[in-house]
Structure 1
């Protein structure tokens, strides 16, 4: 097949336009570089009337907003999901991993929860504390200056609390707790679980003229038409297009591989254009992979050459290894005092929680080594498809029939809606070499590119953590004056522990380290085997921490991208 080559040589080619790729694009373009951004999905701008789903009613969808076409509902701003037609992945040894992909400009940052937590000092050196996994080659002090700058560049609300492993930052004013969150605060404190204002990247106050301020519609998962929440497209890519450098977008383009020369150095990328289904080549001095941890690993593994027979950057045989996702388990409770809620005022707030509980426990006294934080959901937001309560559970609680049809159903919905509060734990799993992704030798996607095959199992450490979550959730719900709904998940269901990949925090496939024999990238996320290739997504993470990973992706991408600029100026790459 003929491959069409672009004659221009870019200073940098950025693959992927999510958190890591978006930040790299902005830093490189601000430095005056010519940048090509290659994105597997279409162009997306939430301010565009044709693409916008914010402020639309369920009846405006032929599916009433159901999740038959998008994993999180018809109005969710994520083009993709765990399963994408024509783009499969497989599993090895009957293990389970669910791989979420969002193919669009801005990637998964268009619909994420925007929980924006820094990793703490302990999170970079956990092996020193509990003996599990490995330490990062860098520490919190290396990343702190970039966290500070990300806070100011993007905006995050919260409060400074002086917590040793949940570092303070530069925060905008947080929104006040809503009624169901006030009940949570009461129950959590009775359980000796601390509660603080959550730290989330929505603008409660104006930080520049290009972005608006949150107006509390509660629909951040739909992406914000006034750019008040953080999405990589609106907050990084669009501003980069107005900077000193040149930014060319190549959307609907699926990267097959990183191309290399006879010395094994990268020369660019080859990609398939989804619209004409032809293969093209782009040339670049530097290639920056920010396609997501698993996608970047797939590209590297498919980039084979005489100089890199095992895949680019894979002389250590560690590309794809040490894959790990956050743990996750949940429980809901019915709070009788929240019945018959007034609906005459707007308490929707931001699209997510106003308060949260960071990890408070002493793992040295527990049977699992790493912690988790608690996320809270509930309230009086707009009902979505399938919002209804579980009538059987309510019937058991009240000893009478709840729900039905017509006026009875409408009356009961008004009576009970908003009286259910949910608690979700998101915790740290241990990075293990035998949890990994690799290339399936027998399966290709519709673009002719070999697909990933996953091997992943939880250990008893993660199950024990989930059991602790369930014990804590039940105690908090009772202390809220509530009744836990459903049977308490037990050992036979791994204590409600969700399958790997379901939390969508996968990291670790191109881990960083100082030794090329035991890592893929160095401390600046530069491949040991090819000095002009960098990975700026969550692939280089040595461990996940009990925090969401996006703020750390952004900070590390900024750090790596400034290193790239400096190395190019000095002609080192």
Structure 2
């Protein structure tokens, strides 16, 4: 994609967007399609998925046969090229004496985490927006599901989401005709569905941002942008160039045919086509620059290639750098009260949450010796389990709930796929080993939970008083402690997974919740460090992501989420950004910003 150097930027932009992932990409596209002059600043390198994605490379073509390494924990073909839980020269710390070390994932590439994510696209439900009203824990959102529903529809139609309407409580239906047909369940998923039926656990079609059919490029642009002929033309051409998935490779590699959703394939191309978007990559933002009138005037960044400092200016600044990075920028920015920018409430950095995660798998004898077939499918799960006990919390002993993801079967083999032969076929070699490999390969199946964490006072990030990164910018120091709600929830996950696996004919060994719960940050769903709210004294932004303290400063990533429901946050981040940008443009027209 075309990028700019510092020397080619304009003296003044309408809006600066920091970050190019879900929130930043959506903000840039909506604004650019409406004629707003936008400068996007990305801390990572340029990335062109159409050229760089190794869609048809098989594992033996990669170093170590494509297996995971410390710097590529999701395998050699993961689309994340310069990021991970550890980024050279960009450390973070954990406060000694706290219960758990937080793992902070950073993408550091154009498009951010949207190149890497699992594309699971679940709407937050009516209960998710009012959690405190239901059980007295956490805080309510300053809007309802009804406020967000139209924006969910728009996002699903824009990016393309497959799934079905199942009418399950707190797992909202989309409007008729919005969702694309889901792919059919595979063998393991069919067995899971059969086991779930006996246990009262609903296994239904997953909702994922993958095109299962060509887009309706003739009609959708008119629905999405009814009063903008130029946007209709650009989006129509872009939708026409996206191909439907042909069920070949894992989505985590990226997608050169643009069948799955990535900011780099769906949001940034039409934004650039307007001529209203400039992009600077390899630019590490240090702080938001403030004027004497208390308004943001631009951002100060470091050119990572030349190591020079630079300042760019705009009428409005949008931070969408990812949850913790956005808070880091605010904490490093100067303000009158010296507590960090937009932090009169004291909530910047607070209320850090990640999804509760745990997993359990087993060998399923019924899946042995299956005939060779393409089980790669849509590059991820075809079915999932929404939280089915939404009205049973008084009996469970923990608040909130979780959804279940699943996977296994005869997908493209990798080195790790045959580690179980050490236990199923010890001492076997030669032709017999090959026969055993064919017999047992694809007979593993597992479940993963993604549960809601309730914000607590012990989970937050702050600036480390002693440590800086290679650019001289103070780094984040994390504090973490799971509550009993999360530990008990993980225990329930393990027991449920074991029952499902045994119902499929396997033998499972569930762990305790304390032993099974995955590390904080490992699920890569962190949100909440600059939450929105109804009052400035208790939150950082209003419902339109505008900071209470600085009227021309907006936050449009996971930092603003007041709670962390059991659904993956990306779809909601996209919907919030679209909704907030429409409101922002109206305020700009009125002269309020």
TM-score (structure 1 length as normaliser): 0.95
Q: Distance in 2 between matches of 1:76 and 1:262?
A: 45
Q: Distance in 2 between matches of 1:333 and 1:201?
A: 28
Structure 1's unaligned 5+ residue stretches are: 395-400
Q: Distance in 1 between matches of 2:432 and 2:23?
A: 50
349, 352, 366: which one aligns with 2:380: 352
Asked if 2 retains the 8 angstrom alpha-carbon contact of 1:391 and 1:403, the reply is no
What is the CA deviation profile of residues 347-405 of structure 1, one whole-angstrom value per residue up to 9, with x for unaligned ones?
320111111110011112111101000101102111224222334553xxxxxx44654
What is the CA deviation profile of residues 193-252 of structure 1, one whole-angstrom value per residue up to 9, with x for unaligned ones?
011111001000111312111010131000000000000111001111112x51111011
Asked if 2 retains the 8 angstrom alpha-carbon contact of 1:26 and 1:236, the reply is yes
Asked if 2 retains the 8 angstrom alpha-carbon contact of 1:470 and 1:495, the reply is no
In structure 2, relative to structure 1, the CA distance for the partners of 1:4 and 1:250 (3 Å cut) is closer
- Deviation (angstroms), 1:567: 1.1
470, 473, 478: which one aligns with 2:494: 470
484, 493, 501: which one aligns with 1:460: 484
| 3-state SS of paired residue (2:240) | coil
**Are 1:154 and 2:174 counterparts?**
no
| 3-state SS of paired residue (1:101) | coil
420, 423, 426: which one aligns with 1:390: 420
- Deviation (angstroms), 1:407: 3.3
| 3-state SS of paired residue (1:462) | helix
Moved more, 169-178 or 93-102: 93-102
Q: Distance in 1 between matches of 2:67 and 2:284?
A: 28
- Deviation (angstroms), 1:490: 2.2
Q: Distance in 2 between matches of 1:63 and 1:32?
A: 48
Corresponding residue number in structure 2 for 1:254: 284
Count matched residues.
556
In structure 2, relative to structure 1, the CA distance for the partners of 1:257 and 1:4 (3 Å cut) is farther
TM-score (structure 2 length as normaliser): 0.91
Q: Distance in 1 between matches of 2:167 and 2:361?
A: 30
How large is the Cα RMSD of the aligned pairs?
1.5
Q: Distance in 1 between matches of 2:491 and 2:429?
A: 38
Bigger proportion of residues as helix: 2
Q: Any residues of structure 2 matched to 1:105-254 within 5 Å, and which? A: 105-169=110-174, 170-207=178-215, 208-243=239-274, 246-254=276-284
| 3-state SS of paired residue (2:400) | coil
- Deviation (angstroms), 1:60: 2.1
- Deviation (angstroms), 1:433: 2.9
Corresponding residue number in structure 2 for 1:397: none
In structure 2, relative to structure 1, the CA distance for the partners of 1:257 and 1:478 (3 Å cut) is same
Q: Distance in 2 between matches of 1:152 and 1:5?
A: 35
What is the CA deviation profile of residues 462-516 of structure 1, one whole-angstrom value per residue up to 9, with x for unaligned ones?
01001100110111111111122xx42125xx14000110100001000001211
Asked if 2 retains the 8 angstrom alpha-carbon contact of 1:6 and 1:283, the reply is no
| 3-state SS of paired residue (1:102) | coil
| 3-state SS of paired residue (1:164) | coil
Q: Distance in 2 between matches of 1:404 and 1:499?
A: 36
Asked if 2 retains the 8 angstrom alpha-carbon contact of 1:4 and 1:281, the reply is no
Asked if 1 retains the 8 angstrom alpha-carbon contact of 2:407 and 2:445, the reply is yes
In structure 2, relative to structure 1, the CA distance for the partners of 1:5 and 1:510 (3 Å cut) is farther
**Are 1:335 and 2:364 counterparts?**
yes
In structure 2, relative to structure 1, the CA distance for the partners of 1:253 and 1:403 (3 Å cut) is farther
419, 432, 443: which one aligns with 2:456: 432
472, 488, 492: which one aligns with 2:510: 488
**Are 1:84 and 2:104 counterparts?**
no
Asked if 1 retains the 8 angstrom alpha-carbon contact of 2:421 and 2:437, the reply is no
Q: Distance in 1 between matches of 2:315 and 2:34?
A: 15
Q: Distance in 1 between matches of 2:556 and 2:429?
A: 52
**Are 1:541 and 2:557 counterparts?**
no
Corresponding residue number in structure 1 for 2:12: 9
**Are 1:43 and 2:46 counterparts?**
yes
Corresponding residue number in structure 1 for 2:234: none
Q: Distance in 2 between matches of 1:385 and 1:75?
A: 14
Asked if 2 retains the 8 angstrom alpha-carbon contact of 1:326 and 1:546, the reply is yes
Q: Distance in 2 between matches of 1:190 and 1:146?
A: 37
Asked if 2 retains the 8 angstrom alpha-carbon contact of 1:304 and 1:312, the reply is yes
Asked if 2 retains the 8 angstrom alpha-carbon contact of 1:313 and 1:529, the reply is yes
Write out the 4+ residue segments of structure 1 that deviate beyond 6 Å after TM superposition.
none
Q: Distance in 2 between matches of 1:256 and 1:215?
A: 43
Q: Distance in 2 between matches of 1:284 and 1:25?
A: 14
315, 324, 331: which one aligns with 1:285: 315
Structure 2's unaligned 5+ residue stretches are: 1-5, 216-238
In structure 2, relative to structure 1, the CA distance for the partners of 1:457 and 1:531 (3 Å cut) is same
568, 574, 578: which one aligns with 1:554: 574
12, 24, 28: which one aligns with 2:31: 28
In structure 2, relative to structure 1, the CA distance for the partners of 1:405 and 1:445 (3 Å cut) is farther
Asked if 2 retains the 8 angstrom alpha-carbon contact of 1:157 and 1:198, the reply is yes
- Deviation (angstroms), 1:62: 2.6
| 3-state SS of paired residue (2:500) | helix
Corresponding residue number in structure 1 for 2:550: 530
What is the CA deviation profile of residues 526-550 of structure 1, one whole-angstrom value per residue up to 9, with x for unaligned ones?
1111010101101110101111101
**Are 1:567 and 2:587 counterparts?**
yes
